[in-house]
Structures are given as structure tokens and as C-alpha cells.
């Protein structure tokens, strides 16, 4: 009688990328010669293009020409594409009739634009990325608690103490990947007469987002975190404040008529989009969002949830490594795991991960210094982040490499430079993509 033996769990759990990214198959040099498959676990910082998006950009390039006022056929094509892209972004996030889509450079730019339009105080939590802390002119800070429930209560106390125009909250933390219950924050803000802006830089790449369902007023996001790294982002939301705010950029395209003493400004979005728009960025951003829709939110969530669990479990199993969390009751998370090390420098470990193992991560405080300093006990953390192009091999290579460096130290010698830790003898050749001179 034969007995069925279950396959080893790692074999059953093997997960391939959900979609092809432009860096699929990339090999990177390691110290001492040779190349290894690149393990890209830095997607929260900037994600490679989806292969389909890169193809769209290639298809667009021959048609690239002037936008909006050109009379040639390619100009008509490109103008239509930019406006189609606006409609795609609008539909993707469930924008309503009263909303506009203003194209920006990135999330930071979108928040800085919104900051010029807010007619009052802005309340933020201390967990925010600097992009959602620094632009607000009249900012009031609420220190988050270690539960979402208590954090909402603290926010309510702050809003009750004095009216605010806006609550600006992240949809997902770029440090811990933890999701925030945006709809609850929106309901609370509205109950106190404030609007809500959602920093979706880390949310949009991983979740379906619908402004109507969340009852959120504004959403900001970046193409480069959403598999379209061509320099566009967006502010989507209620037109009224934006229609009367001073033009974010002054110049051609933002005006209907200019006399020497008088200027007639367009309403938004044109009001804030002077100058030649980033056609490649805008069209590629929309193409990426359409591809995310095609893949479907459930497949994305399932793929990333399994990998994130594997990543956290693997990292937490290493002696001397502790995973950082902000909340004990977060309603889920995206594919971000940040750890701190009991001993040694994370900068050195991150440098060795890259130079000796071809693993890309991020070290530091992730532009969220107040949050990091509150939840971590060490000066810096190491963040691994994943997405559509990630596989279980990526996670396993990272965990094995981290484990070996933490236990035995790097193999090569490194020195601390003004630019972080670097190998003393770096023989890794850079690719000749462009040579200055
Ligand atoms: N908010 C969050 C939560 C982020 O993670 C980031 C990028 N790390 C930003 C804002 C800023 O995004 P960008 O650099 O694209 O402007």
C-alpha cells in the first residue's frame, strides 16, 4: 500500500510573480565578480514599470508631440491620450462628478498643491510620511496610540477642541505597511465638519480604492509606486477649493486670457497644470491602473498577503531581528515589513545584502521620522517591500541572506562614507546605459 506524502510546504507555497515587471530577469553584479538574479524588495520606494506599461510608452514615443494647442495629427492623438488618461484615473479611484483629477509630479507634489488650497487647519497623525507632514501651513498633530480605536478617539478629541478644515491620513503606512480604516477616519472628520485627504501612495499599488465608498474628499498618489515610473502623480478630489486657490504653477495653459493688468484663470484642473504636461508619465500611469484593474484586486491581495506573511515570518524567525508594528489592531497590511536589528548597523547590513547577495531593500527611517522614532528602539530600520513582480524565491533569498549577515557579518569589508556604507573594494561594473561626456 502506498502512502500519499504531502509535498513540503515550501514547494506547495511557491508563488510566482503575478505580473511581469520591466526588471524581470535582471541580474546584478556582486562583489568578487559574477552576477545573481536581482531580488527587488524595495517596491514601496519605487516600483519598476509593468512590462505592459513599458510597451505602451514604446508605442507612444513615435507619436509624442505637443499637447493641447498643436494642430498636427500626432498632437491630436497625444492630447486625446492625456484626457483619456485623466478619465481612467478618475474612474479608477471612483471620483464623483464634483471631483477633478489634477496631474502632478508625485504624491509630494499633490499634497503641496492641496496645501495651497486648504482654507484652515489640517490635522495629521504622527505616523505620516514627511510628504504628509511638512506641506501643511497650519498643522495640528495627533500622536497615534498603539490601537486604531484609541487613535480615532484622540483624533475626535482634537477635532472637538477646535474646528479644522482637513484631516490628512495615510491609507497605508510606508513604515509598517499597516492599513488604516480610511472610511472610519472620513466619517469622523465629516462629523466634525472637516474634509479628509487620503495619502494613497502606498495604498493604490495594492488595493482597489473608491473615493465614493470611502466617502473621502481627496486622494493623492504616485505613478512610480504604481508600476509607472515616468514621473507623474495625481491629486483627485473636490473641485471647489481647487477652483479658487491660487494657481499652483503660473503660466501658459492655466489661463483663458491675459492682459497686462488682468489675468483670467481657468478653474481646476487647468488652473494648476501650467506648462507642458508630462505626457509619458500621465499616459503610463493610466495604463498601469488599467492593468491593475485587469489583474483584479482579489488576486493582488491574495498574492501579496501570502508573500508578506512569508516575509514577516521569515524575518521574525531570525535571532536578533524584530519586526516593527505601529498598531495592534490594524485592519490589514500591504507588502511592507520593516525590522530593526538588536546589534549592528542596518546600513551595513543593507549594503552587504546588495553587494554580496543582489538584494535591494531600504535602510533608515523612511521619511517618517516622528513615527519611526516613536515605535522603534534603534536609530534605523531595514524595510523589505514587495508587489506584483515579487515571488516566494525573492522572499526566501532575502531571509536567507539577512539571516547569514546577522549571524556571521558581511563577507567583505565596508566603510562608512558620507553616502552610507560602501564596500572598500567595489568591483561591480555599472551598466553602460548612458555615458556622460
Ligand atoms: N506618502 C507615502 C506614504 C509614501 O510612502 C511616499 C513615498 N515614500 C510619499 C508619500 C511620497 O511619495 P513621492 O516620493 O512619490 O512624492
Q: Which residue ranges have their beta carbon within 6 Å of ligand 1?
A: 106-108, 129, 131-132, 170, 174, 199, 201-202, 222, 224, 367
Q: Which of 269, 294, 319 is the last residue of a domain?
A: 294
42 CA to centre of ligand 1 in angstroms: 13
For residue 13, pLDDT over 70 is answered with: no
Residues 46-102: pLDDT tens digits?
999 999 999 999 999 999 999 987 899 999 999 999 999 999 999 999 999 999 999
Domain assignment present for residue 435? The answer is no
Domain assignment present for residue 127? The answer is yes
Q: What pLDDT was estimated at residue 335?
A: 98
Residue 317's CATH number: 3.90.1150.10
Q: Which of 114, 152, 349, 367 is catalytic?
A: 367
Domain assignment present for residue 185? The answer is yes
Residues 335-392: pLDDT tens digits?
999 999 999 999 999 999 999 999 999 999 999 999 999 999 999 999 999 999 999 9
- How does the average pLDDT of the chain come out, rounded? 95
Are 119 and 106 within one domain? Answer: yes
For residue 9, pLDDT over 70 is answered with: no
Asked if residues 337 and 394 have their Cβ atoms less than 8 Å apart, the reply is no
Domain assignment present for residue 314? The answer is yes
Are 153 and 248 within one domain? Answer: yes
Are 262 and 319 within one domain? Answer: no
383 CA to centre of ligand 1 in angstroms: 14
Are 324 and 247 within one domain? Answer: no
Residue 208's CATH number: 3.40.640.10
Residues 260-274: pLDDT tens digits?
999 999 999 999 999
Are 157 and 287 within one domain? Answer: yes
Are 290 and 256 within one domain? Answer: yes
323 CA to centre of ligand 1 in angstroms: 21
pLDDT band at 435 (very low <50, low <70, confident <90, very high): confident
Are 161 and 104 within one domain? Answer: yes
Are 84 and 100 within one domain? Answer: yes
Domain assignment present for residue 9? The answer is no
Q: Which of 276, 294, 312 is the last residue of a domain?
A: 294
Domain assignment present for residue 2? The answer is no
Domain assignment present for residue 125? The answer is yes
Best residue among 197, 202, 361 to mutate for probing ligand 1, ranked by most atoms within 8 Å of CB: 202
Are 90 and 38 within one domain? Answer: no
> Considering its fold, how many domains does the chain have in total?
2
CA-based end-to-end distance of the chain: 74
Atom index in ligand 1 nearest the CA of residue 45 equals: 8
7 CA to centre of ligand 1 in angstroms: 41
Domain assignment present for residue 433? The answer is no
* Residues 144, 130: Cα–Cα separation, whole Å: 15
Are 145 and 289 within one domain? Answer: yes
Are 242 and 348 within one domain? Answer: no
Range of the structural domain that residue 259 is part of? 53-294
367 is catalytic: yes
Best residue among 107, 229, 288 to mutate for probing ligand 1, ranked by most atoms within 8 Å of CB: 107
Q: Which of 254, 274, 294 is the last residue of a domain?
A: 294
Are 363 and 283 within one domain? Answer: no
Amino acid at each position: 500500500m502506498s502512502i500519499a506524502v504531502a509535498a513540503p510546504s515550501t514547494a506547495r507555497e511557491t508563488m510566482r510573480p503575478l505580473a511581469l515587471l520591466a526588471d524581470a530577469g535582471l541580474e546584478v553584479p556582486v562583489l568578487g565578480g559574477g552576477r545573481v538574479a536581482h531580488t527587488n524588495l524595495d517596491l514601496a520606494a519605487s516600483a519598476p514599470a509593468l512590462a505592459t506599461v513599458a510597451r505602451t510608452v514604446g508605442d507612444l514615443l513615435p507619436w509624442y508631440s505637443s499637447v493641447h494647442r498643436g494642430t498636427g495629427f500626432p498632437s491630436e492623438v497625444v492630447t486625446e491620450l492625456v484626457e483619456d488618461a485623466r478619465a481612467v484615473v478618475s474612474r479608477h479611484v471612483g471620483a464623483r462628478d464634483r471631483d477633478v483629477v489634477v496631474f502632478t509630479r508625485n504624491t509630494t507634489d499633490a499634497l503641496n498643491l492641496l496645501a495651497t488650497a486648504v482654507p484652515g487647519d489640517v490635522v495629521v497623525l504622527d505616523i505620516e510620511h514627511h510628504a504628509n507632514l511638512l506641506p501643511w501651513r497650519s498643522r495640528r498633530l495627533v500622536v497615534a496610540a498603539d490601537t486604531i480605536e484609541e487613535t480615532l478617539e484622540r483624533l475626535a478629541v482634537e477635532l472637538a477642541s477646535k474646528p479644522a478644515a482637513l484631516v490628512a491620513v495615510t491609507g497605508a503606512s510606508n513604515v509598517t505597511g499597516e492599513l488604516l480604516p480610511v472610511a472610519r477616519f472620513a466619517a469622523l472628520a465629516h462629523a466634525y465638519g472637516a474634509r479628509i485627504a487620503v495619502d494613497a501612495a502606498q495604498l493604490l499599488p495594492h488595493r482597489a480604492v473608491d473615493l465614493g465608498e470611502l466617502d473621502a474628499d481627496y486622494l493623492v498618489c504616485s505613478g512610480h509606486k504604481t508600476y509607472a515610473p515616468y514621473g507623474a502623480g495625481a491629486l483627485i478630489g473636490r473641485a471647489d477649493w481647487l477652483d479658487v486657490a491660487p494657481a499652483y504653477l503660473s503660466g501658459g495653459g492655466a489661463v483663458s486670457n491675459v492682459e497686462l493688468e488682468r489675468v483670467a484663470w481657468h478653474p481646476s484642473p487647468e488652473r494648476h497644470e501650467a506648462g507642458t504636461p508630462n505626457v509619458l508619465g500621465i499616459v503610463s500611469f493610466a495604463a498601469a491602473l488599467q492593468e491593475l484593474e485587469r489583474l483584479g484586486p482579489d488576486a493582488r491581495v491574495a498574492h501579496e498577503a501570502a508573500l508578506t506573511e512569508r516575509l514577516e515570518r521569515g524575518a521574525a524567525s531570525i535571532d536578533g531581528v524584530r519586526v516593527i508594528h505601529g498598531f495592534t489592531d490594524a485592519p490589514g497590511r500591504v507588502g511592507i515589513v520593516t525590522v530593526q536589528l538588536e546589534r549592528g548597523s542596518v546600513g551595513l547590513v543593507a549594503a552587504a545584502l546588495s553587494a554580496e547577495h543582489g538584494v535591494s531593500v531600504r535602510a533608515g527611517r523612511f521619511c517618517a521620522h516622528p513615527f519611526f522614532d516613536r515605535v522603534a528602539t534603534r536609530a534605523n530600520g531595514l524595510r523589505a517591500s514587495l508587489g506584483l513582480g515579487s515571488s516566494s524565491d525573492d522572499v526566501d533569498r532575502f531571509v536567507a541572506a539577512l539571516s547569514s549577515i546577522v549571524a556571521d557579518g558581511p563577507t567583505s569589508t565596508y566603510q562608512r562614507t558620507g553616502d552610507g556604507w560602501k564596500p572598500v573594494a567595489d568591483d561591480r561594473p555599472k551598466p553602460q546605459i548612458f555615458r556622460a561626456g
